[in-house]
């Protein structure tokens, strides 16, 4: 457990192993080992805590593959301490460590999270450009007798000047760790504020690598529709508290949280815990109270995903054409809450069903009724002419049509879809949406056979083959209310 809440380590020490060779100091330690031991002891005393954690890479003495454990260590550290020298500049391994630390947030340098310890004299113009104008803490002097530079404490760890420089550096490191600790506690205590009045932005969650193009496609569509969308960013993972605070700050400026999903689970979180990045983003969006809309391709089968947490995420996503999802996002972001009425207008849905699925249709109607939606069903008695006229009246007056496909035959469903589409196309104002509700019994090929036999981009598919799931009706209800 580190001193700063939520991080893996407080200080990650990056150095070239060549600088730890040569003359050995106390207990036959190399200079870097001894330096880190003394510095860590001083920082712990100044903070009054034994939990301050320094991490050094003692196992990888060359350019070996960048291991997941090392990535976790360097990215999950609060501070980066660099032992600067010609050997450091020539080390590909050190460059990888530096880039891994900075890739989560380039402002880590400006934020005081990087400390440079000059093992030997290295001119500023030769330093990595990522460090900008950051100078450093010199631990070398020019020896006039030898006519060359030497590293303080290398031959004598008790050297006064070496100890003085160590004291100064330890104070700066302790001050920065104390600041980060206080910021983490403050972020954890901060209440989640509601979205400001008039917020109409859409926060598009960072997608997995295989869906980056889809993510950008959605952003472009939102901009063209005149909506604001915060730029794609990799939220800082130095600590769980800072990650949460940064995301919630963006969510508070938006009205909708959009997430595109695939079977890929996404990267693990640097600070650990359950759930990978897509799950953490969804959980925080849910915590903020923002409207959430998720999408997945129809070809993605949630049941084939082994991870139960990610499978649950996919279960709640809308499986529809991407154009339909983009329209849903725009409609939801631009939806203006209706002015209060003494008697609000009813939203009416015609639930078209075969007698074989009557019981399933009634169960769906109960869930829609709980959401304030009025449902009408086909007559179960009367002459063919009476039944036909009643169907036409329902299709002319309703706000949405839901065709239930469970135990009924595919020919019956196709017939209903063709008839319903023909009638509603004659209306002056078409219904908000036409949807197919796929209900039990589950059949992996049932819906595929139906969709393969028709091509209608305006038909929404609600996949509930595993039983009535109220949350999967939400996109349908959202579309009805938006219209």
29-49: pLDDT as tens digits = 789 999 999 999 999 999 999
Helix (H) or strand (E) holding 141: strand 140-143
The residue-averaged pLDDT of 156-169 equals 94
Cα(119)–Cα(151) distance, integer angstroms: 6
Angle between the N-to-C axes of helices 92-102 and 68-75, in degrees from 0 to 180, rounded to the nearest 10: 50
Q: What pLDDT score does 177 carry?
A: 94
Tell me the whole-structure pTM to 2 decimals: 0.47
Q: Tens of pLDDT along 314-335?
A: 998 999 999 999 999 999 988 8
Hey, what CATH topology would domain 9-189 get?
A: Rossmann fold (3.40.50)
The tokens for 340 are 């209060």
> Does the domain spanning 339-482 belong to CATH 3.10.20.30?
no
Sorting pLDDT into bands at 50, 70 and 90, what band is 73? Answer: confident
Average pLDDT, the chain: 83
CB 185 within 8 A of CB 240: no
The single-letter DSSP state of residue 353 is -
Q: Tens of pLDDT along 386-409?
A: 988 999 999 988 999 999 988 888
The answer to whether the peptide bond before residue 454 is cis (omega within 30 degrees of 0) is no
**Of the listed ranges 21-25, 66-70, 340-344, 374-378, the one predicted with least confidence:** 340-344
User: Which residues are within 8 A (CB) of 247 and not within 5 positions of it... i.e. 6 or more apart?
Assistant: 235, 281, 284
Q: What pLDDT score does 462 carry?
A: 87
**What percent of the chain has a predicted confidence (pLDDT) above 90?**
33
Domain boundaries, the chain: 9-189, 201-333, 339-482
Q: What pLDDT score does 295 carry?
A: 94
Angle between the N-to-C axes of helices 212-224 and 322-334, in degrees from 0 to 180, rounded to the nearest 10: 40
Q: What pLDDT score does 23 carry?
A: 58
Q: What SS3 state is found at 350?
A: strand
> Does the domain spanning 201-333 belong to CATH 1.20.120.1200?
no
Per-residue pLDDT at 238 exceeds 70: no
Q: What pLDDT score does 131 carry?
A: 81
Per-residue pLDDT at 343 exceeds 80: no
Q: Tens of pLDDT along 107-136?
A: 567 678 899 999 998 887 788 887 877 888
């Amino acid at each position: 457990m580190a001193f700063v809440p939520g991080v893996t380590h407080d200080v990650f020490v990056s150095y070239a192993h060549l600088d730890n060779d040569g003359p050995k100091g106390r207990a036959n330690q190399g200079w870097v080992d001894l330096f880190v031991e003394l510095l860590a002891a001083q920082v712990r005393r100044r903070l009054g805590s034994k939990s301050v954690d320094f991490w050094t890479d003692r196992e990888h003495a060359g350019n070996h593959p960048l291991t997941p454990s090392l990535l976790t260590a360097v990215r999950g550290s609060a501070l980066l301490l660099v032992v600067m020298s010609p050997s450091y500049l020539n080390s590909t391994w050190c460059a990888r460590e530096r880039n891994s630390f900075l890739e989560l947030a380039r402002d880590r340098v400006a934020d005081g999270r990087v400390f440079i310890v000059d093992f030997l004299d290295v001119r500023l113009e030769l330093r990595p450009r990522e460090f900008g104008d950051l100078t450093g803490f010199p631990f070398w002097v020019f020896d006039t007798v030898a006519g060359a530079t030497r590293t303080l404490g290398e031959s004598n760890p008790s050297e006064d000047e070496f100890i003085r420089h160590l004291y100064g550096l330890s104070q700066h490191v302790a001050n920065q760790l104390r600041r980060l600790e206080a910021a983490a506690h403050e972020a954890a205590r901060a209440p989640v504020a509601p979205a400001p009045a008039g917020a109409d932005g859409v926060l598009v969650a960072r997608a997995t690598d295989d869906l980056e193009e889809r993510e950008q496609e959605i952003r472009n569509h939102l901009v063209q529709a005149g909506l604001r969308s915060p730029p794609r960013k990799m939220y800082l993972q130095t600590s769980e508290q800072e990650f949460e605070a940064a995301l919630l700050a963006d969510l508070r400026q938006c009205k909708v949280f959009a997430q595109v999903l695939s079977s890929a689970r996404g990267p693990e979180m640097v600070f650990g815990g359950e759930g990978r990045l897509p799950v953490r983003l969804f959980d925080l969006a849910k915590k903020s109270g923002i409207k959430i809309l998720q999408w997945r391709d129809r070809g993605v089968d949630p049941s084939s995903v082994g991870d139960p947490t990610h499978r649950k995420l996919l279960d709640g996503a809308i499986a529809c054409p991407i154009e339909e999802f983009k329209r849903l996002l725009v409609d939801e972001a631009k939806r203006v809450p209706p002015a209060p009425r003494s008697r609000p207008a009813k939203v009416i849905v015609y639930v078209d069903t075969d007698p074989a699925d009557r019981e399933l249709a009634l169960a769906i109607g109960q869930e829609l009724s709980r959401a304030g939606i009025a449902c009408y069903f086909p007559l179960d008695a009367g002459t063919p002419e009476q039944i036909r006229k009643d169907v036409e009246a329902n299709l002319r007056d309703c706000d949405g049509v839901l065709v239930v496909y469970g135990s009924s035959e595919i020919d019956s469903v196709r017939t209903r879809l063709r008839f319903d589409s023909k009638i509603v196309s004659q209306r002056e104002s078409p219904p908000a949406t036409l949807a197919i509700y796929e209900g039990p019994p589950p059949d992996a090929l049932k819906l595929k056979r139906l969709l393969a036999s028709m091509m209608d981009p305006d038909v929404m598919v609600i996949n509930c083959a595993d039983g009535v799931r109220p949350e999967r009706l939400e996109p349908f209800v959202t579309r009805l209310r938006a219209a």
